[in-house]
């Protein structure tokens, strides 16, 4: 792993992001381009579900802890800034972006999620859009991926505490070692229109990294080393 900044120098993001689109409410959609561009450069992002904020803090801390020149992969801190600002799992239109991708199994019947990790059932309803890819956040992310052609994509979520590797077990095993999380094949329920399904249909290697339920105050204590290893090395 490359040398990192001392902690007193990690307060600001000194690297400048690039805008790749706008959210439903007009917020800029931003990404940080890889500075060591190779055929191995991937895309790493968080915040597709706006109420999952620990991974956003973790990715930000990682970017603030390294020299910009050592960034090996493209990074999106938040794929759903409206949801982050409003405290919503969905985007501002009430659509679960992780069920809005134009996959062969996309469904317009809506979806449900758990209110929190203590809830026994998934009973909170969200829309899935008027069609696959109906939301600006979804369309702009797909366009960015088409432009960047990343070697792989890692999406951070919470709170299932696993590496959902699907058909990409080799990559999943590497990430399990980095983050000390178990490898799983799926999350135990159907996810029509999900980002992972869309990536599979485009033949893009993709992994979902599910952090456990964790406070933003703790996430950099537990996972900072892992995110630094990820951002500064080819996988």
Q: Give the residue numbers annotated as catalytic, written as ranges.
A: 210
Please, are residues 97 and 76 in contact by the beta-carbon 8 Å criterion? no
The verdict on whether residue 72 carries a ligand-binding annotation is no
The verdict on whether residue 157 carries a ligand-binding annotation is yes
How far is residue 229's CA from residue 232's CA, in Å, rounded to a whole number? 6
Please, are residues 46 and 73 in contact by the beta-carbon 8 Å criterion? no
End-to-end CA distance of the chain: 12
Residues β-bridged to residue 127: 95
Torsion of CA 186, 151, 35, 50, to 10 degrees: -30
Q: What is the DSSP string of 52-76?
A: --HHHHHHHHHHHHS-GGG--SEEE
Which residues are annotated binding-site positions for Zn(2+)?
49, 52, 157
Which residues are annotated binding-site positions?
49, 52, 157
């Amino acid at each position: 792993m490359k040398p990192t900044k001392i902690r007193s120098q990690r307060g600001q993001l000194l690297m400048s992001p690039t805008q790749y689109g706008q959210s439903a409410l007009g917020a800029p959609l931003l990404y940080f381009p890889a500075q060591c561009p190779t055929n191995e450069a991937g895309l790493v992002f968080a915040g597709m579900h706006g109420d999952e904020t620990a991974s956003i803090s973790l990715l930000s801390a990682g970017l603030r802890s390294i020299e910009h020149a050592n960034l090996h992969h493209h990074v999106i801190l938040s794929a759903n800034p409206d949801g982050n600002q409003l405290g919503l799992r969905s985007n501002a239109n009430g659509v679960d972006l992780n069920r809005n991708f134009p996959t062969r199994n996309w469904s317009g019947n809506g979806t449900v999620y758990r209110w929190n990790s203590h809830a026994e059932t998934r009973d909170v309803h969200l829309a899935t859009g008027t069609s696959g890819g109906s939301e600006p956040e979804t369309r702009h992310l797909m366009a960015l991926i088409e432009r960047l052609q990343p070697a792989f994509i890692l999406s951070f979520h919470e709170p299932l505490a696993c590496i959902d590797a699907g058909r990409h077990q080799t990559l999943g095993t590497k990430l399990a070692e980095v983050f000390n999380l178990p490898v799983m094949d799926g999350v135990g329920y159907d996810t029509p229109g999900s980002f992972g399904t869309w990536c599979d249909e485009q033949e893009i290697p993709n992994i979902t990294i599910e952090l456990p339920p964790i406070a933003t105050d703790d996430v950099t204590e537990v996972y900072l080393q892992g995110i630094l290893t990820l951002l500064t090395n080819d996988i």
